[in-house]
Structure 1
Amino acid sequence: MYTQCPECLTVYKLEAEQLVPACGCLRCGHCDTVFNALGTLSAHLPPEPFTRLAEHALDQAPPLADVAVFRPRRATPEPVEEPLETTSEPAVAEDAGEDFSRLTFTPRFAKPRRRSWRTAAWVAVCMVLVVGLGMQLAWAKRDALIADPTVGPMIETGCAFLGCRLPLVSAPERLRLLARDVEKHPSVNDGLLITASVRNDAAFAQPYPVVTIVLSDADGKHLAMRRFQPEDYVGDASARARGLAAGATTAMVFEVQDPGQKAVAFAFTFD
């Protein structure tokens, strides 16, 4: 705390104990003037430069002290035995006073803080953003997740429960050629009819592949090649949309032009 001599305007720093002996009066160490330190008592100094500290009126009513933190219990007097006297006046009971034995002081910073609606709204927004980010990552990696042997069946089960359809994942390396055959076209003179039986060994449905057929001669020289799109050998649009189911086998029929007697071998590739 700080106070100021009213005569020489010297500012002193003091403690509360220095105000007790003379009820707030001090003697200036510079001009030897006795003054009431409470008139200019201040917890902080004003910004420099300054000349005088703010003065306080000392003739006001005492302020009320209303924040109680402790009050000792009153000592209970020992009972004194008195002779019994006959009197018509009722005995007046002594006021026992208030009991502050269980009074506790709780610091303001220890009181629990109530969460405002802004905090709840912020948490909800963060959760929505995290869920949205997870959905974006799952969509970006959907092919890998569907093809995963552990996660894929779980996703398929959940999608079947919700009534949705998973996108088809292309895995031509999981297609196995079981049988193939070539013969003269029954209605086209210079045409060939090639049939193939293909099975999907993947654990998930995949779209019908792009089939490449290469005809070769006895020396392995390529004589003809053609790429067939799914709509070239699967006429049903709904079947193409469903794709080739997991573990399913399908028969593919292709019509090609006969390159001549030199074509003795043919090969299939799936893309």
Structure 2
Amino acid sequence: MYAQCPECLTVFSLDAAVLAQARGEVVCGHCAAPFDALACLAAQLPPEPFQRLAAHAPSGQPPRLELAVYRPRAEPAAAEPAAAPEAAGAEDFSQLVFTPRFARGARKPRRERPARRRSGERRWPWVAVCALFALLLGAQLAWAKRDVLIADPTVGGWLRRGCASLGCTLPLVQDVHRLRLLARDVQAHPSVPGALMVSATIHNDAPFAQPYPIVTLVLTDAGGRRVAMRRLRPAEYLGDEAVLRAGLPPGGNAALLFEVVDPGVKAVAFELGFE
């Protein structure tokens, strides 16, 4: 529930316990002004932006509550004491049965064991349901942390061997810090004037397959100042959809080829980065 200070228009969130302490009279924590929270009490806030919460119009008669959720049971009346016999001689002890002490000690409850057995039989469905929910929760956590588990040297190895035996495929996990640049070269394009051809060879040091990275190509002049920059997505330098879906295999190499516009004689050096 929400209430708004009429002085500074600050909206506060409160519950029934706060309202019951002083029957709706509260003090604003922003401007310290006292106000009646029941006058503008709202279950939900209107769409923003808004200035004031709608005030409740006073009603002549109190509303009648019809939707009951709980009613305490009535306490049973105390049993009346038994009437005292009129005379001590009127008591009849002819129907009393006396049991020897050793017989009372040897008597055992006959229904205790079946009751325990029935309670155990009723308990196993709950145990099975709890175990099922625990497995579902573990599966959700494993799916949420799948990148960390696949990249882990121990757990990732188990997952890869399990998927290899089941015929499934693990999702690709990206770790650009485990990509290593083996060779790179830039030269004028042999068939397109005013263009450059940049080639690079990368190696995947990770024990798992990675998606092809976004390559950042930066051209600089003799003073190290940036002349041109371009970010190339995998679909721009790889045309094979099957290769893109398979990713860069663990311990594998990939030859990349880029065609960019020549910025002119100012570009004398270039840098390659991965994202």
Q: TM-score, length-normalised on structure 2?
A: 0.63
3-state SS in 2 of match to 1:114:
helix
Matched with 1:183 is 187
Q: TM-score, length-normalised on structure 1?
A: 0.64
Q: Is 1:34 aligned to 2:88, yes or no?
A: yes
Residues 6 and 214 of structure 1, relative CA distance in 2, 3 Å threshold? same
Q: Is 1:114 aligned to 2:193, yes or no?
A: no
Matched with 2:165 is 161
Residue 164 of structure 1: CA displacement? Answer: 1.1
Residue 119 of structure 1: CA displacement? Answer: 1.9
3-state SS in 1 of match to 2:172:
coil
Aligned length: 192
Residue 238 of structure 1: CA displacement? Answer: 1.0
1:215 corresponds, among 210, 215, 219, to 219
CA contact (8 A) 2:214 2:234 kept: yes
Matched with 1:5 is 84
Residues 115 and 127 of structure 1, relative CA distance in 2, 3 Å threshold? farther
Residues 115 and 4 of structure 1, relative CA distance in 2, 3 Å threshold? closer
Matched with 1:98 is none
Matched with 1:259 is 263
* Cα distance in 1 for residues equivalent to 2:136 and 2:174: 26
Residues 109 and 118 of structure 1, relative CA distance in 2, 3 Å threshold? closer
* Cα distance in 1 for residues equivalent to 2:259 and 2:250: 27
Residues 259 and 68 of structure 1, relative CA distance in 2, 3 Å threshold? farther
| Amino acid aligned to 2:229 | M
CA contact (8 A) 1:6 1:35 kept: no
* Cα distance in 1 for residues equivalent to 2:196 and 2:256: 14
* Cα distance in 2 for residues equivalent to 1:70 and 1:264: 111
Unaligned 5+ residue runs, structure 2?
1-80
Q: How is 1:1-271 mapped onto 2 (pairs within 5 angstroms)?
A: 4-7=83-86, 33-38=87-92, 105-108=107-110, 111=113, 113-115=116-118, 117-271=121-275
| Amino acid aligned to 2:89 | F
Matched with 1:49 is none
* Cα distance in 2 for residues equivalent to 1:246 and 1:260: 38
| Amino acid aligned to 1:111 | R
3-state SS in 1 of match to 2:228:
strand
Unaligned 5+ residue runs, structure 1?
8-32, 40-57, 72-103
Structure number with bigger Rg: 1
* Cα distance in 2 for residues equivalent to 1:262 and 1:245: 38
**Root mean square deviation of aligned Cα:** 2.8
More helix by share: 2
CA contact (8 A) 1:204 1:246 kept: yes
Residues 105 and 221 of structure 1, relative CA distance in 2, 3 Å threshold? same
